[in-house]
Structure 1
């Protein structure tokens, strides 16, 4: 692949994934607000929203084999077209039970752009710049997610406008990848089509995805509640989330650069240790100005775990094996996204409100302990043949 085609592919990927993140960031709050207007319970609204993650979980294991059969580019283009149609159907078929099905299908469709784009960007990356390119990729996703809710200021919540706007944005994403169709991603047939072997083969990277899913969804779902319960105004609580989002965006390139310059596993450990310290210190700092830089660095730490996990998989696998390993990572993310918020919500109820940040620190601590344990076992395994020979 020439330098020009690499730049064209990278531009197409980040444009497409940024737009998909924007649409996802818009539709989640939009649909929940519309359900709230209908007077539904929080449990019913939560169940409706969980169908997206469920759809992703159910469909992800099949993506590598389908992508090999029909081609990753065709699969990507087709699921984007289906996403645009689903967005219009939300408004045309305004019924809670139908929305359960549509949100499930949304999860099925929206997981494909993430998986294919991660494979694609790993294919155009080199070992020297993979971390930085994936840092740009992660920053574009975070930017889309962060700007999505702001679109409602312009589209409003009622009427057709937000749905047509979202469908139009998906069309822009399709146009972006069409411009790079000559440099489309490819998949060879070497490796397992199932993601399950790669959970065992790359446990630390997959665990990072699990923790990232639990921590990210827990923070973006519950931090505003934590802020209000801590005595802050709703505006200040929302600002806390904005500062974390800024860290998500601005620190991904430095994290990726560090992963390029040193062992990625060490960078994962650094992110996790900062996560532990941030969660442990935040209750004591929330009435001081130091809270804001801690939240900013914390935000970069959270997304940095996913960036570095992708880098590790890209270094180790290629082709079909990379697709299946990425599928394992996405499965882990969605598992964490479904399980993390209930655990963190329970922690906040038990220790009100600081149980949330203590619980988040606990998730990071689990990862630190697992990383140390895996490194220790790895060293022992490496030494065993030598010890046996010496004996």
Structure 2
């Protein structure tokens, strides 16, 4: 698990591969940032309760249980480009059906299919990027990846705010994003992620082998899916107009454009596990200002949300770096699958728990749930850092 995973890639092939997969994942992020609030607003305007909207959002990430267990085999057997393009086709078909049949109960299986496709594509993309990146350039590559993806993620809500959610037009625009996902992947059509040996452990064991990034991604999934599903609903219930409420998630996304550059710089100079603990704590504490922030002027709330979003981006990026630092070869697809699996579980738990919290304390239960998610997680990387530091001190005696 220690050899360089990108040693078999020529520099030109590596750059071509990374360019294609990063652009494709930026388009995926645009789709996610566009459709997440779209689905929630459509249901909110039809009088669906906050808890049911939350459970409907959670059903999307339940698809992770279908997609991820077999994903390492599919990546090795068919190659990452074919896996991601197949997922994009499933995503487009489900969106077309959702546009045709707007019904909360029918949307449960359709969002399940979307979640299966998205989780397979996203996990494959993360695996591909870590595989194509050498150790020396990992923090720089992941930082660029986070910035480009943040542009896509932030663009989606702003486009939705302009076109609105009252017609079929936003669904048509979402369908138009699918070719933007598929075409860049052709640059790496022949790429393979393979190894002469199989993975060294069963999938559940990777949680024990790397608990900090795995649990961090669980909480990142809880928080991210909660914000996608319910932040616009929170804004509407606090009296914001639809466009302003929709743009909130977009402003958070724009914060992730610049922040990764600083995160990558610091990740090369600080202990990444300790840095991750600080980012998780800061993300939870930043949420406490949301009830006050929604009463501020447009410029001030935009600045607040960009700072908040930039902090959140660091949690995902640092966790992804830790996975790439730890695993190689056949272990990398398996470890990244578990990494994505944890995100999926979190994405199921987050909207469901936060939706119930909003119904119990309308609407500020969202803030309370978000803060609790993060503050309960902070001790995990701190304990891991302290144990590693103590072990190093004992070794050097």
Q: Which TM-score applies when normalising by structure 2?
A: 0.82
Please say if residues 214 and 339 of structure 1, whose CA atoms lie closer than 8 Å, have aligned partners that are also in contact.
yes
C-alpha spacing 1:87/1:194, structure 2 compared with 1 (3 Å): farther
Q: Does the residue aligned with 1:88 lie in a helix, a strand or coil? A: helix
167, 170, 194: which is aligned to 1:187?
A: 194
C-alpha spacing 1:97/1:128, structure 2 compared with 1 (3 Å): same
Alignment partner of 1:142 is 2:141: no
Please say if residues 212 and 303 of structure 1, whose CA atoms lie closer than 8 Å, have aligned partners that are also in contact.
no
CA shift at 1:65, angstroms? 2.2
C-alpha spacing 1:128/1:248, structure 2 compared with 1 (3 Å): same
Q: Could you tell me which residue of structure 1 aligns to residue 258 of structure 2? A: 250
Alignment partner of 1:278 is 2:318: no
Q: Could you tell me which residue of structure 2 aligns to residue 101 of structure 1? A: 109
Alignment partner of 1:373 is 2:373: no
Alignment partner of 1:58 is 2:50: no
Alignment partner of 1:300 is 2:310: yes
Instruction: Give CA deviations for 1:242-265 in whole Å, capped at 9, x if unaligned.
Output: 432221232122212321333321
Q: Could you tell me which residue of structure 1 aligns to residue 14 of structure 2? A: 6
Q: Could you tell me which residue of structure 2 aligns to residue 362 of structure 1? A: 372
**How far apart in 1 are the matches of 2:254 and 2:331?**
33
Please say if residues 193 and 320 of structure 1, whose CA atoms lie closer than 8 Å, have aligned partners that are also in contact.
no
**How far apart in 2 are the matches of 1:236 and 1:320?**
46
Q: Return the structure number with greater helix share.
A: 1
CA shift at 1:275, angstroms? 2.5
Alignment partner of 1:125 is 2:133: yes
C-alpha spacing 1:93/1:285, structure 2 compared with 1 (3 Å): closer
Query: Where do 5+ consecutive residues of structure 2 fail to align?
Result: 1-8
Q: Could you tell me which residue of structure 2 aligns to residue 341 of structure 1? A: 351
Please say if residues 119 and 185 of structure 1, whose CA atoms lie closer than 8 Å, have aligned partners that are also in contact.
no
CA shift at 1:108, angstroms? 1.4
**How far apart in 2 are the matches of 1:285 and 1:240?**
11
Q: Does the residue aligned with 2:136 lie in a helix, a strand or coil? A: coil
Q: Which TM-score applies when normalising by structure 1?
A: 0.83
Greater C-alpha Rg: 1
CA shift at 1:325, angstroms? 1.2
CA shift at 1:378, angstroms? 3.6
Q: Could you tell me which residue of structure 2 aligns to residue 215 of structure 1? A: 223
Please say if residues 81 and 186 of structure 2, whose CA atoms lie closer than 8 Å, have aligned partners that are also in contact.
no
78, 82, 86: which is aligned to 2:86?
A: 78
**How far apart in 1 are the matches of 2:245 and 2:206?**
39
Q: Could you tell me which residue of structure 2 aligns to residue 263 of structure 1? A: 271
Instruction: Give CA deviations for 1:195-220 in whole Å, capped at 9, x if unaligned.
Output: 31111100011111011112223334
